[in-house]
Chain A
Amino acid sequence: AQSVSQHNHHVILSEAASLELGCNYSYGGTVNLFWYVQYPGQHLQLLLKYFSGDPLVKGIKGFEAEFIKSKFSFNLRKPSVQWSDTAEYFCAVNAGDSSYKLIFGSGTRLLVRP
């Protein structure tokens, strides 16, 4: 069965610090990968996605992620975080088959201190 692991459950950073959130998945076949963000009290919004092609994917708000197939990883990065990036971040995967159902990691809560 597919699974997604996010090892950092809570991250606290100061503004302008660099961010990297880890995401590993277990599935041997073709995958589609996603990062979603959930601001306090809101729904999930798509940050970026990877389907194929260039493994370095750029998303909204200055976020990027790199797909490393050999490591089954899809880590999220941002060079300089802002207070407004305080949110919970979810990595998700679907199997690249026709079901499109997403399996989510447990999420990482990011707190950015001004």
Chain B
Amino acid sequence: DAGVIQSPRHEVTEMGQEVTLRCKPISGHDYLFWYRQTMMRGLELLIYFNNNVPIDDSGMPEDRFSAKMPNASFSTLKIQPSEPRDSAVYFCAWRHPPSGNTIYFGEGSWLTVV
């Protein structure tokens, strides 16, 4: 798979704290996606960008969630304030045109809010 860096890989935080998840995709991608995975709800698309522009954020659960892509090599997903029900694995994914329409996933950020 094409590489990407997600950070932090694991985070435990207290309810009410701000959480920022980061994604650095491989260069040459055009679409970038943020997914959330939980036992109860499975894999949910939160938001996606095309060439750094947010296209569809209808999956963002609440106003507490926000995402940015200030440049082609970096994206953030912020939760403020965090709640225990936000505990999940958050995946960054991207389309790499030389690989066709395939979407590749990063290794995920495992978030626990206590």
Contacts and interface: CB of A to CB of B under 8 A. Distances in A.
Contact of A43 (B45, B56, B91, B100): B91
B104 interface: yes
Interface in A82-114: 90, 94, 99-107
Size bracket, chain B contacts: 20 to 34
Interface stretch (B14-22, B63-71, B80-88, B105-113): B105-113
Interface residues of A, number: 21
Given A46-B1, A106-B42, A101 B56 contact: yes
A32 B95 CA distance: 14
Given A100-B31, A101-B56, A43 B108 contact: yes
A107 B89 CA distance: 15
The DSSP consensus for interface residues of chain B is strand
Contact of A46 (B42, B45, B56, B104): B104
Interface of A: 32, 34, 36, 42-46, 49, 51, 90, 94, 99-107
19 contacts: A34-B103, A43-B105, A43-B107, A45-B1, A46-B104, A49-B102, A51-B100, A90-B43, A99-B48, A99-B55, A99-B56, A100-B48, A100-B95, A101-B33, A102-B33, A102-B93, A103-B45, A104-B42, A104-B43
